[in-house]
Amino acid sequence: MQGAQSRTALASLTGLSHASMTAIMSDLLTQGLVAEVTADRPDGRTRGRPATFVNFARTAAHAALFELDVNRARLSLIDYGGVLVDRIETELTPGTFAGIAPCQFLSDRLDALLARTPAARKTLRRVAISVQGILERDGRGLRWSPIQHLAGAPFASELCDARGLPVTLHKRGRLLAEGARWLDPALHEASVATVFVGSTVAMGVTFRGQIMGRGDEGATEFGHMNHVPNGALCRCGMRGCIEAYAADYAVLRNAYSVPETAPPAPAVPAQQYEMLMQRAEAGDRSATHAFNLAGRAIGFGLSRLLAIYDPSHILIVGPGARALELMRPEIDQAIKASLVGSINGAPHIIAHRDETEPIFKGLLMKTLNDIDQVDFAPLPNSGRAG
């Protein structure tokens, strides 16, 4: 569902009858969850009774969305209509969470945000946090994360207790999958593997438009799937992970012939990675070699993925998406060398450079859905289905 819709449109969209739609909307109107929009339609008038559009009542609820990245924290305030109200960004360094407890850090940001929009304080319903790493099974914290000093303390439940609000952790890979569905209508009902290539390598998957599981499922540890036994040293401490060949630090390491057992660089500046791509595009041997190795790792990873799960589309996002063409020959070759790839053919591989958009969209849609499903639970079905 997108924006304001007439009752008739909603009826045909949901498959319900007009009668039901009237009843449901009347319910939701009295509960203040939706509002009639009397916006003047800019398009030429048509015959017939004009439609009255309804939309989610923006002030019915608010949510705070954190996106925690290796080098940046972004906090967004959104309303029940899915509109971005305000946003705060903070730089992160590897030492940030050594100096301040994650819970405190998040709580401070939240106060700063609410100070700028005091009206949202009353209707703030939940806090959702996008993180990288492996979640605790109970969702209260992280077992491991590439963000230094973030794993360990159950900061989600601490923040929950401190603020009296539901706080949920969301694995970035899963949000990628969720967001990809919403950003491209063609992917909404498809089986899509969305791969992030950048400072890490992550993947979220959808299956016929559905995301499996509740917690961090739907995300995979694709980046830490083994590529070569006992191979290159990965940021996670294991050896031979795909990430250890395809993440930015790995390409850098290989381009400069640093031994693959050397510890990964904590962070690679965007310009440096960009420069490597340009050198590779210009034909520089060591750079192309590094991207070939990256493509080979991703290619064999995808070929192994295909043996288990056969998506119709593969979406590459993140800084590495720009290097897709550099890696594509190796990717294609690896897929072609597998039974499924050679029989079913390779899936469509699409590059979409910006990864923040799908992550934010995914976090937003997931959180709005949680508000509908959990906070407004015993109500007739609202659900932003589509």
Partner DNA sequence: AGCATTATTTTCAATGCTCGAAAAAAGAAG
Partner DNA sequence: CTTCTTTTTTCGAGCATTGAAAATAATGCT
Q: What is the DSSP letter of 198?
A: S
Least Cβ distance, residue 229 to DNA (angstroms)? 53
DSSP 115-140: HH-TTHHHHEEEEEEEE-SEE-TTSS
CB of 35 to its own copies, least distance (A): 37
End-to-end, the C-alpha distance of the chain in Å comes to 5
**CB 249, CB 201: distance < 8 Å:** no
Binding of its own copies by 342 (CB under 8 A): yes
Instruction: Using the minimum distance from each CB to its own copies, give the nearer residue, 220 or 254.
Output: 220
Do 243 and 274 meet the contact criterion of CB atoms below 8 Å apart? no
DSSP collapsed to 3 states, 38-106:
CCCCCCCCCCCCCCCEEEECHHHCEEEEEEECCCEEEEEEEECCCCEEEEEEEECCCCHHHHCCHHHHH
Nearer to DNA, 15 or 229 (CB): 15
Judged by CB under 7 A, which stretch of 20-28, 125-133, 219-227, 256-264 contacts DNA? Answer: 20-28
Q: Applying CB under 8 A, which part among 7-15, 58-66, 199-207, 261-269 lies near its own copies?
A: 199-207
Stretch binding its own copies (CB under 8 A), from 18-26, 46-54, 228-236, 256-264: 228-236
Residue 16 binding DNA, by CB under 7 A:
yes
Q: What is the contact mask toward DNA in residues 22 to 61, using x (rule: CB under 7 A)?
A: xxxxx------------------xxxxxxxxx--------
**Binding test (CB under 8 A) with its own copies, winner from 10, 238, 258, 379:** 238
Question: Exactly one of 61, 160, 241, 349 binds its own copies (CB under 8 A); which one?
Answer: 241
Cα 91 to Cα 204: distance, rounded to the nearest angstrom? 26
Q: Which residues pair with 36 in a beta bridge?
A: 54
DSSP state of 323: G
Interface with its own copies includes 309 (CB under 8 A)? yes
Largest CA distance in the chain: 73
> Which residues contact its own copies (rule: CB under 8 A)?
134, 143-144, 203, 205, 207-208, 212-213, 217, 220-222, 224-226, 229-230, 234, 236-241, 300, 303-310, 334, 337-340, 342-344
